[in-house]
Amino acid sequence: MSVIDRIDKYVEKVIESTLEDIVSERFARYSKYIIQDRALPDARDGLKPVQRRILYAMQQMGMLHNKPYKKSARIAGEVMGKYHPHGDSSIYEAMVRLSQDFKMRVPLIDMHGNNGSIDGDSAAAMRYTEARLSRASEALLGDIDKRTVPFVPNFDDEELEPTVLPAKFPNLLVNGATGISAGYATKIPPHNLREVVEATIAYLDNENITIEEITKMIKGPDFPTGGIVQGQSGILSALDKGSGKVVIRAKTEIEEISKSQDRIIVTEIPYEVNKADLVRSIDVLRIDKKIDDILEIRDESDQQGLRIAIDLKKGADAQFILNYLFKSSDLQVAYNYNMVAILNHRPVLVGVLPILKAYVDHQKDVITNRSNYELAKANKRQHIVLGLIKMVSVVEDIIKIIRKSQNKQNAKENIMEAFGFTEVQAEAIVTLQLYRLSNTDILALQQESDNLLAFIKELEHILSSEQALRRVIKRELVEIVNLLGEDRRSEIEAEIDVIKIDQKELISEERVMIGITKEGYIKRASTRSHQASLTIGLKAQDALIFEKELNTLDTLLIFTNLGNYIYLPVFKIDEQKWKDLGIYINNITPIEKNEKIIKVIAVSNFKTDETILLATLHGMMKQAKLQDFEVTRYSKPIKAMKLSDDDQLIHVDMHEKPNILSLSKKGYALRFRTDDLPLYGLQAGGVKSMSLSEGDQVAAALYVNTSDDFVILTSRGHVIKDVVEELPIYNRNRRGILVIDHQKTNPHYAVSGARLSKQQQKENVDVRIVTENGSLMLTVSDLKYSGNKFGKKLFDEEALGKGFIIEVFDAKDDDIELKVTKLPPKKTPNPIETIDLKEEIVTVDDKKIHLNRLDLFDEDDE
């Protein structure tokens, strides 16, 4: 027996269908319901179903604007029991919103009690608050009892409810709407009633009116909270197509506390911004020291109106701080129009013209239906009045007939038979009170008949003339404006004010110590913490590769072996104690697992003619302008040099000199003119600048002067000192000459190099050597040696590991900041400085040999 057969025993009807079909069909019905009957407003009256039901229920309960308030719980119960069978909380929340003057441009409910606040406070429970209709909602409900709109049965078929309200003004544009449904959302801002009515009347006069003409009347949104709306193009796009973007800015002013101290006063905030959250967020900016010049922020709002006071420190730039607050807080927000409404039972994204058309067409139907209702009623009354007037002339005979009749029905029949009255007239006669037979009432009947004739004539004219119908709509719109119209609250500005904040202007300028280690830990400490700390916080076997006192407004360029650089303003580094470990670079900017820091350069000013030299392991080099390294977005590493797959960035130098010195691992030194190396952008890969034999690679590339010395750190912990002037100038892309003698066993390989000027030697500056397991701090005088062609041994590589960086600290009075390349070339009798030399290769016994500057012979690896 199948499952279906077993189920048939207990279930009368089983529908066989796939899950996909069931879910699809049910969800389609659900979506249609929430789109049409829950979340989106009708274009005709601008109301969602729950709002319409609340207003109609209150009108049926007689809760007009001039009647006593009634408990909100009673209203919510009436709405839920008769028209809206959902939660009472959703009904009450809708009531509360309709009553909030900071959400609704024209509130539709007059609520007595706590109905929430602009600070985000929720309303009191419905058992505590009371409510009644406002004048505006009465205008929306006006003439609903004159068969002006269609009614449908409610959920249990016991009551009737309207599908739309008559709406004496275009509520959708005046109060706006927000809502989210399945696949659709709407966001329509409120507008000024006077402007909307003016545009509606203009549309009535000319249905071919252009959107440009409409925008001369509807200037833009008019929020209940005021503020400044920027973006005329966004308003035009929204009014035309239904979507557009504007910016809402708080209304502010700057008060002078004293001659050197100001206060920012906020009197209006953007629409739907929570005031308490706004004040809190600005105070957090002060507490987090993201802006130092705010002394205090206070909410001074009272019954007189909204007021937020922001006291500034003495000497602070009030306008700059205000711009920063616009940029960083909800004092300025973007508002994106999404004007979706139910039009002809369908959700449509529409501009203002289709909304006006839908409203005008609706009003035509309302006025026509009302006129037909009133015409029928007037004709009926006129018929009765004519019968009463006719009765006056035979009143004595009628009285006799009535007295002789058996009952009311018999009296009606006798009167109709004797004088030819209709049944309606006869009914009116027999129910007439005797005092109405006085002379005064007879004159009143005649006057009423004349008035009814004029009224009937007017109604027939309205029903037969399109122009007359339009005049009625205009007249009633003008009456509503006179009753409810208010001046505009929001100001309109044509252009969106683009605010660009230089965060450096927010930073207090001070001197700090910056330390960066080879493992990638970065720390910023005060100079006091640096001086007070006897030791620096480091991981085991880690060492500093950069240590310098800088200004908080300086910027670090941190270069990595993968050809990238990290742009890191000093003020972005969190302050710590010098003995702390620091922040790992990956927590600041994400880098690759195999990415390592090779060089750190501190920059105070990018707007210079400085250049940076970049060199790779395989001998590719380029120069780049320092100003190209300045960026505004720096959340990830930025490309400094394009590398081949197996290449790495090995050395970076700054402060251009006349010559470039390139050192290779196997001890070759190539000196060539700086002008021979072209300038490239950051995305370029550079050019071949040093010819390398198999197994050789570049160890360092330096800017040098002719008068400089240079030092080479070897793989065995030796430092070799040499003279730049003794190196001939070759063309680029040569091997150069040998400066480290080759050994067949345990050779010395160059691992790093540094320039050593005469001033650095004179001042005996510090020298840092970084090794695999630590670092060594020396002075220039410690590098002196004699009688050893492999230099001076400074550390045991078995203890500290192999060295890989040697750094000579700057001299105080060095010419390091000068750019001598822009000067005219000096004439010197030294032929080495004026003639490009080629490498000298001689042949002895059919073997190629290389001539080095020490006149020592060494076999060429080739």
Residues serving a catalytic function are: 128
At 145, which amino acid appears? D
Assess contact for 665 and 694: CB atoms under 8 A: no
The dihedral formed by the CA atoms of 132, 137, 139 and 142, expressed in degrees to the nearest 10: -70
Give the distance between the most distant pair of CA atoms in the chain: 164
Which DSSP string do the residues of 549-602 spell out, in sequence order?
Answer: EEETT-EEEEEETTSEEEEEEGGGSPB--TTS--EEGGGTS---TT--EEEEEE
Displacement of CA 805 from its chain's centroid (Å)? 46
Q: 415 and 398 in contact (C-beta within 8 Å)?
A: yes
Task: List all residues 6 or more positions away from 203 whose beta carbon is below 8 Å from its beta carbon.
Answer: 209, 214, 353, 356, 357, 360
131 CA to centre of own chain: 38
Cα 517 to chain centroid, rounded: 37
DSSP assignment of 20-53 equals HHHHHHHHHHHHHHHIIIIIS-BTTT---HHHHH
Helix, strand, or coil here: 685? Answer: coil
Contacts with 772 (C-beta within 8 Å, 6 or more apart), sequence order: 541, 800, 801, 802, 803, 804
The alpha-helical segments, DSSP class H, found in 206-301 are: 211-217, 232-241, 275-287
Q: How many CA atoms lie within 13 A of 120 on its CB side?
A: 8
Q: How many alpha carbons fall within 13 Å on the CB side of residue 126?
A: 17
Helices marked H in 117-192 — which ranges?
A: 135-141, 171-175
Q: Give me the phi and psi of 779, to 5 degrees please.
A: -125, 170
Amino acid found at 504 = K
Place of tokens 């080095």: 852
- Which parts of 239-392 are beta strand (E)? 243-249, 251-258, 261-268, 294-299, 308-312, 332-338, 340-343, 346-349
Query: Residue 201 has what DSSP assignment?
Result: H
Residues 6+ apart with CB under 8 A from 764: 779, 780, 781
Q: Could you say which DSSP state residue 146 is in?
A: G
| DSSP helix/strand/coil, 525 | strand
Phi/psi region, residue 46 (left: phi>0; alpha: psi -120 to 50; beta: rest), is: left
Burial of 67 (C-beta count, 10 Å sphere; 0-12/13-18/19+): exposed
Can you tell me the distance from the alpha carbon of 624 to that of 613, in angstroms, rounded to the nearest whole number?
A: 7
Q: Two tokens at 746?
A: 């345990």
Cβ 195 vs Cβ 219: under 8 Å: yes
Type of residue found at 795: F
Among residues 591, 715, 734, 768, which one has the least CA distance to residue 660? 734
Q: Are 360 and 203 in contact (CB under 8 A)?
A: yes
